[in-house]
Structure 1
Amino acid sequence: MRNQVLLIIVLLSALLGAPVATTAAEGISISETVLKMPLADDVSMDDAVDSMKLRANTLNFKLVAHLPLYKELEAMDIETNRIEIFQFCDARIANEMVIFNPDFSAYLPCRITLLEDADGKPWLVTLDLGKIIPSANLSPELLEKAKMVRDKIESIMQAGANGEL
């Protein structure tokens, strides 16, 4: 339960760009659990979206959901910078992970957030799977698949950050 609460705090912090302090007893700060990539100066946020979608398709990773959170907030008359959440998945691997341990469902699907910080700088943010995978106690076969998912998510982010089509 504590890990799920920490994950929720991590995701909300990533979305809102808010720093969250932790105590030594808690062990890890939220910023240590995420992977952030700035967009290159010549890459627009729309170009980043197109690049991520194209890369995901090339890698056989399905875009299963898209939440333009900033539009929801604007509809509520809340002024905000751009915040969009993209969810990607390989259903076969997701199923294998949940069969192995239902707790993995809390990490599904893989999310990448595109956001504009308070200074107007665009970023891509995701959970740093490289820090989660080592503690998952996976079989060698599932470990390889988890690493593949990590690598594909990072590839999708790199494509977006660099505007690679």
Structure 2
Amino acid sequence: MRKILLSLLIALLPLTFLASQSHAEGMTIADTVLKMPLAEDVSMDDAVESMKLRANSLNFKLVAHLPLYKELESMGVETKRIEIFQFCDARIANEMIKENIDFSAYLPCRITLIEDQDGKAWLTTLDLDKVIGMADLPPNLMEHAVKVRDTIEEIMTAGATGDL
């Protein structure tokens, strides 16, 4: 259980930082998040399978999966479905960290499947445009950052639409 809670805290650190920085600039936490609702005919299980298949076809590895709702249920906490998926292209991650170790706080890329209080399913992730805009990257790394952003969005879109 400690490992799961530690993983969750580590996963939330980048958002905590962005929230504190952004609030001072008039932004809210919602301004740092990309959200996609699942299509009406797409089940959460179908979304998961679609994301995994799309990530694999794009050479992004699923490096971690945290079914947080199961952990909460085992603790007797009533909850809606919450799962965190972590995807990575290790080569790009390595290049970004070589440029600036601060990028390590944003790795790996996370997509959360979450059911809201009304039963609507969503996919959420960090809005990488916000990070890319602050990064001051050399052209070759900017190209990689844009590729990561586009790949994560494509994985999410596949999940949201159930596209295999």
Residues 66-105 of structure 1: pairs in structure 2 closer than 5 A: 66-105=65-104
Is the partner of 1:42 in helix, strand or coil? Answer: coil
TM-score normalised according to structure 1 size: 0.87
Is the partner of 2:112 in helix, strand or coil? Answer: strand
> 2:16 maps to what in 1?
8
Deviation at 1:72, TM superposition (A): 0.2
> 1:160 maps to what in 2?
159
Q: Whole-Å Cα distance in 1 between the matches of residues 150 and 136 of structure 2? A: 19
> 2:138 maps to what in 1?
139
> 2:148 maps to what in 1?
149
Question: Are the aligned partners of 1:9 and 1:30 in contact in 2 as well (CA < 8 Å)?
Answer: no
Q: Which structure carries more helix by proportion?
A: 2
Deviation at 1:24, TM superposition (A): 6.0
* Gap regions ≥5 residues in structure 1: 11-19
Residues 44-63 of structure 1: pairs in structure 2 closer than 5 A: 44-63=43-62
Question: Are the aligned partners of 1:67 and 1:84 in contact in 2 as well (CA < 8 Å)?
Answer: yes
Residue 117 in 1 paired to residue 113 in 2?
no
Count of equivalent residues: 153
Q: Whole-Å Cα distance in 1 between the matches of residues 32 and 75 of structure 2? A: 30
Identity %: 70
Letter in 1 for 2:15: L
Q: Whole-Å Cα distance in 1 between the matches of residues 76 and 146 of structure 2? A: 41
Question: Are the aligned partners of 2:14 and 2:106 in contact in 1 as well (CA < 8 Å)?
Answer: no
Decide whether aligned partners of structure 1 residues 111 and 5 sit closer, same or farther in structure 2, where only a CA change above 3 A counts: closer
Q: Whole-Å Cα distance in 2 between the matches of residues 9 and 79 of structure 1? A: 29
Root-mean-square deviation (CA), in Å? 2.1
Q: Whole-Å Cα distance in 1 between the matches of residues 17 and 74 of structure 2? A: 24
Map Cα deviations across residues 111-150 of structure 1 (whole Å, 9 max, x no partner).
Answer: 0000000000000000000121011000000000000000
Q: Whole-Å Cα distance in 1 between the matches of residues 25 and 31 of structure 2? A: 12
Residues 35-50 of structure 1: pairs in structure 2 closer than 5 A: 35-50=34-49
Map Cα deviations across residues 62-108 of structure 1 (whole Å, 9 max, x no partner).
Answer: 00000000000000000000000000000000000011000000000
Decide whether aligned partners of structure 1 residues 50 and 136 sit closer, same or farther in structure 2, where only a CA change above 3 A counts: same
Letter in 2 for 1:28: M
